Amino acid sequence: MRQDPALTRRTVLASLGLSLTLAGCATLAAAPRPSVPATTTPPTPSPLPRPLPGAVPPPVPVAQPAPGLVRVPVPPGTLSDLPGEGTLLAWTVDDGSSSEVLARYIRFAAETGTRLTFFVTGCYDAWTDNADRLRPLVQTGQIQLGNHTWSHPDLSTLSDADVTTELQRNHDFLSDTYGVDARPYFRPPYGVHDDRVDALAAALGYTVPTTWYGSLADSGLLTEQQVVDFATTWFLPQHIVIGHLNFEPVTNVFPQLRALLHDRGLTTVTLNDVFTSAAHP
């Protein structure tokens, strides 16, 4: 019997003693960023060298079509894993506080054909710094973009108007910068949402709060071995796994993560590879 994803999620995060709070974005003036209880506060990402213009050419997307899947309608309510039995893995990656980490993820995807879903926090410069590199992979569908709010607040603490602004502003940014409609998937920061937040999001077309069933736990700074250990625990069939575009260690173990997928016979998919929706029939 599969454990309840929410309980599994809380147990893993609590055992780590890691904060999910990320520095780097200013919240809306009317809604200051809430403090998130934690035993420790992860350090602010150390600035990594930003590639000089033209120093890293845009990657050429690997010609790899979506897996030949029979897509199914996305189910109502919170999504935390993939349906049925199979060998699929949805590797999802959030935030974007490090422009260099995002650039390395893009190159990894381009070189290996790995399919990813990025949940974008649009206030981070990484998403404009890397737009020219990322856009080709988004256009081919190899990388899907979802809505992770504009500035990463706890939506449950905001007014109705500010919840709407966080999602709408990020939606508009994704449309203007990448030419995509990110609906219906939104990932509430810290995984926190309630009926009110869900209703406000649904009014904008974001009808699927998307959480996870396993984490690389790298919203804060980990060692490379810790990242590999978490991947070993959670890279399993039909799981939605969360990682973060914030710290460098994960980018140094891409070969190990790729080998783990291969050894377990797992195929990476985006959410749009698996599900149909009004925005992506």
226: left (phi over 0), alpha (psi -120 to 50) or beta: alpha
How many helices and strands in the chain, by DSSP H and E?
10, 9
How many other C-beta atoms lie within 10 A of the C-beta of residue 98?
25
pLDDT in tens, the chain (281 residues): 444 444 344 344 434 433 444 444 643 333 333 333 333 333 344 333 333 333 344 444 444 556 788 999 999 899 999 999 999 999 999 999 999 999 999 999 999 999 999 999 999 999 999 999 999 999 999 999 999 999 999 999 999 999 999 999 999 999 999 999 999 999 999 999 999 999 999 999 999 999 999 999 999 999 999 999 999 999 999 999 999 999 999 999 999 999 999 999 999 999 999 999 999 99
* Residues 205 and 279 sit within 8 Å (Cβ to Cβ): yes
Predicted local confidence at residue 36, as pLDDT: 30
In the chain, the domains with their CATH numbers are 78-276 (3.20.20.370)
pLDDT of residue 156: 98
Q: pLDDT digit string (tens) for 9-55?
A: 434 443 443 344 444 464 333 333 333 333 333 334 433 333 333 33
Strand intervals (E) in the chain: 72-73, 88-95, 116-120, 143-147, 185-186, 208-209, 239-244, 267-268, 275-276
